[in-house]
Chains A and B, each alone.
Chain A
């Protein structure tokens, strides 16, 4: 199975005429190849280990059941990330544990969330903690857009497809989210890139 491309593995899994053991091997190989990547995207979007684990499981269950629907009009990795994003959105809707706060109100959200509170377990350095908190303070959709476009390298169109929204909405929300993140993280960015003397007073 190592010699097969991702797309070939999925095609083999979806081929009901193929030998059962080969199909199963192909799917397990796909899981091995993508488990960490799917985990990372889910963890960034849903923000907790428990939810990320559930979303990761749901992602691969969806892939197993809908592998035959992959048409090859995008890279398989993009398709899998899209499935993961969709699984995350469904989980977040189900949980409904965070208010769907418009990003315009992010200052209030950030204050309510307490940006100086202890972060989750996503890292130890101050910069990583600050980034995690800033991402967590975004509404779910804006956070998903940032993860897809600014971290995972999705095109606007791909993110729009993944989130079932117009491309224009993705762009405007991304720019707004980037503005708020840059503002919230000004200190961290200053330390990393500008140096303390360049920080505005």
Chain B
């Protein structure tokens, strides 16, 4: 493009810009009179005006392509944690949340993370009420996996999400009921008498605990439960896990965890196997 063309293009665009302002009624009196005189006398200016008025129709006809396949589902998935976050913790729905999560997970393919989680779960399910035999393990998650070594393969352990593990105090073998769970929460709060119970209403085992509930748990449930725990505990970015324990709750295998939220709230979760239920004790500060 030579200099003459540049000048020509610039002149034309300047003229179009003036016309655009004229169409919008944004010119002052003098500029408007000048533009209208040009429009009346110069057919090229009149043609520019038609281009401008035709532009809107062309733009309006420019429909973007439809969203790609799966975008609606990805949108809902992205919104799910935000909806939960905005609704806030609700013990009465936590069982349902877990159950829904498990239902989805049952349809999902197993992942390396799942295999690692399953190793933990097998400790629970396999040991059953004999969890206390595992003894205290405080050095780290690996020790628990080592106890489950007859189940977890080396490749399982190598693929375990080590980097995602929080610096949690990890113990095993505690035996809890509502009162002792509250007492545990109180230990972390240092103010045990202030803690209240928001029992999520996970149904207690109908049968007296004799281990039968443990052996009746299917492999799919074990995997699903382990994955739900993994997702809940290891991938949480909105809290610090202070305590995790493979335990029994009301004679039922469970994972007991204490999470401190950024706002200082403490939550004690009991992820029990029966009905994939969850109990939540919390204190809002």
Contacts and interface: CB of A to CB of B under 8 A. Distances in A.
Contact of B16 (A121, A128, A178): A178
A180 B82 contact: no
A48 to B, nearest CB: 10
Interface in B47-80: 47-48, 50-65, 67-68, 71-72, 74-76, 78-79
Contacts of A188: 58
Contacts of A185: 51, 55, 58
A200 interface: yes
A27 B80 CA distance: 11
Contacts of A189: 50-51, 54-55, 58
A59 to B, nearest CB: 10
Closest 9 CB pairs of A and B: A179-B16, A193-B54, A43-B64, A179-B17, A175-B20, A189-B54, A131-B62, A178-B20, A57-B78
Given A178-B52, A185-B58, A40 B63 contact: yes
A183 B67 contact: no
A198 interface: yes
B231 interface: no
Interface of B: 1, 9, 12-17, 19-21, 24, 26, 44, 47-48, 50-65, 67-68, 71-72, 74-76, 78-79, 82-83, 85-88, 90, 93
A135 interface: yes
Nearest to B53: A193
Contacts of B68: 49, 53
Interface in A1-46: 13, 16, 20, 23-24, 27, 31, 35-36, 39-40, 43-44
A174 B64 contact: no
A53 B75 CA distance: 8
Interface stretch (A60-68, A74-82, A88-96, A157-165): A60-68
A98 interface: no
A146 B57 contact: no
Contacts of B17: 175-176, 178-179
A56 B44 contact: no
B13 A27 contact: no
Given A107-B9, A122-B65, 16 more contacts: A23-B87, A24-B87, A27-B79, A39-B67, A43-B64, A53-B75, A131-B62, A135-B62, A151-B59, A171-B26, A183-B9, A183-B12, A183-B13, A183-B51, A193-B57, A193-B58
B55 A53 contact: no
Contacts of A150: 55-56, 59
A179 B20 contact: yes
B79 A57 contact: yes
B87 A123 contact: no
Contacts of B48: 182
A115 interface: no
B58 A40 contact: no
B94 to A, nearest CB: 12
10 contacts: A65-B82, A65-B86, A107-B1, A174-B20, A178-B52, A178-B55, A179-B15, A180-B13, A183-B13, A200-B44
A57 B75 contact: yes
A182 B51 contact: yes
Nearest to A54: B78
A113 interface: no
A73 interface: no
A33 B218 CA distance: 41
Contact of B86 (A64, A121, A176, A180): A64
A183 B16 contact: yes
Contacts of B51: 182-183, 185-186, 189-190, 193-194
B50 A194 contact: yes
B34 to A, nearest CB: 16
Contacts of B12: 183
Contacts of B13: 176, 179-180, 183
A109 interface: no
A127 B20 contact: no
A198 B53 CA distance: 14
B58 A192 contact: yes
